[in-house]
Structure 1
Amino acid sequence: MHRGLSVFNRAPAASATSWLLACCTSLAWAERVSAHRPYPTPDALLAAADEAAYDLAPAQLAAALAAERPHGPHPSGVPAAARTALDAAHAAYESRFGHVFVIALEAYRSEEHLDQTLSGLRARLANDAEEERVVAADELRRVARARLTRLVSGIGGQPTDQARKPEKSGEFPDSGPSDSPYVPV
């Protein structure tokens, strides 16, 4: 069995739920995923996480989206015009939908993140509230899935840039804030 999954499966429920909340801030999601342990494979864990995300009630989804962190600082080398366009698009999105823009970028190379974020913001600003709720829910599910994958993969290994040493337990890293689903622009 995958070592990280084994540690996750054996952890006390409170610890597992806490680790899961680092992946998605929905308590209902985290408790549901934790409660269905043990998982026989990492894929089974991800499938359960997906199912729990699909089953979030509208109020639970709204709370999870509201708790997501806003986009980070701009990296060096980003042209001023791009920074201005992104800042304006993020502000317009937050004003229109009441939460930060969530986009899963794990399928893209880092040099594509800026373009994907800006094009995603522009496209999704045209959505009506219900359509954007569906898109944002799917993006949040994909972000939580990526965070959970990194979380479980990091168990027992050396901490990486995306998984730092936990304050307790010594075995299970948290997903940390370094994987923000908002490209740091």
Structure 2
Amino acid sequence: MTSHRLPRLPGQVALPEQKSAAPSPARLDGFNSAPVDVVTRSLLTCCRSLRWAHRLADHRPYPDLGSLLAAADEAAYDLTSADVAEALAGESLTPLPDGAYSAAHTALSAAHAAYESRFGHVFVICLDGFAAGEALDQVLAGIRSRLTHDPEEERVITADELRRLARGRLARLVRQFADEPRPADIRRPQ
């Protein structure tokens, strides 16, 4: 039996990672054929909503990555306020990038505190597509801008940011399953 590595729990700020080619449909086999409990635990690292994770795990197999991502989007759009709150409770702050100076740390901490005080949950933003050097500025600008929203407007934006984060995390997760050796790929020494 192949043991699947579970990805580490990402923080609420998604820093861009090395882009690699999307897995071929055949390489979704690892994700599609893994035990449901392994897939569910792994999916919870993408979005901490049990409802979202169970829905994706239960609707396997997926013919290709596009179908999986579309199902993930649909499941995210169907999350209730309680589901979104559950997912937000699983998000955490990530450390500042290496080389960030003390004033930036202070500004970011103050902005996060103001946001949590106003909305009652952590700030989430998807930074896929931004260079790592732009992350801090994007987070600070995002928090400052979103602090002006009313709670209902911010709830909608937060749910969409969670969906975008989950989508990026899911694409990386599927690559990890594709990188795992499958039993047919393992050859015994002769």
**Fold agreement, TM-score > 0.5:** yes
Residue 5 of structure 1 deviates from its aligned partner by 1.3
Q: How does 1:86-105 map to 2 (within 5 A)?
A: 86-105=108-127
Aligned to 2:52: 29
| 1:37 counterpart letter in structure 2 | R
| 1:9 counterpart letter in structure 2 | N
2:168 corresponds to 1:124: no
Aligned to 1:7: 30
User: Do the aligned partners of residues 150 and 67 (structure 1) sit closer, same or farther apart at CA in structure 2, a change above 3 Å counting?
Assistant: same
Whole-angstrom CA distance in 2 between matches of 1:127 and 1:17: 34
2:83 corresponds to 1:60: yes
2:41 corresponds to 1:18: yes
Aligned to 1:142: 164
Residue 3 of structure 1 deviates from its aligned partner by 4.3
Give the paired residue count: 159
Structure number with larger C-alpha Rg: 2
| 1:27 counterpart letter in structure 2 | L
Residue 156 of structure 1 deviates from its aligned partner by 4.1
| 2:173 counterpart letter in structure 1 | L
RMSD: 1.6
Q: Please give the per-residue CA displacement for 1:6-63, whole angstroms capped at 9, x wherever unaligned.
A: 1111122222111111111100000011111110110000000000000001111111
Contact 2:31 / 2:178 at 8 angstroms: preserved in 1?
no
Is the partner of 1:154 in helix, strand or coil? helix
Q: Please give the per-residue CA displacement for 1:78-127, whole angstroms capped at 9, x wherever unaligned.
A: 23222211110011111111111100011111111011000000001111
Aligned to 2:63: 40
Is the partner of 2:141 in helix, strand or coil? helix
Is the partner of 2:125 in helix, strand or coil? coil
Q: Percent identity at matched positions?
A: 57
Runs of 4+ residues deviating >4 angstroms: none
2:101 corresponds to 1:79: yes
| 1:107 counterpart letter in structure 2 | G
| 2:60 counterpart letter in structure 1 | R
Structure 1 gap ranges (5+):
159-169, 172-185
Whole-angstrom CA distance in 1 between matches of 2:149 and 2:27: 39
Higher relative contact order (CA 8 A, sep 6+): 2
Residue 77 of structure 1 deviates from its aligned partner by 2.2
| 1:30 counterpart letter in structure 2 | A
Q: Please give the per-residue CA displacement for 1:112-159, whole angstroms capped at 9, x wherever unaligned.
A: 10110000000011111111110000000010111100010122437x
Structure 2 gap ranges (5+):
1-23, 183-190
Contact 1:39 / 1:45 at 8 angstroms: preserved in 2?
yes
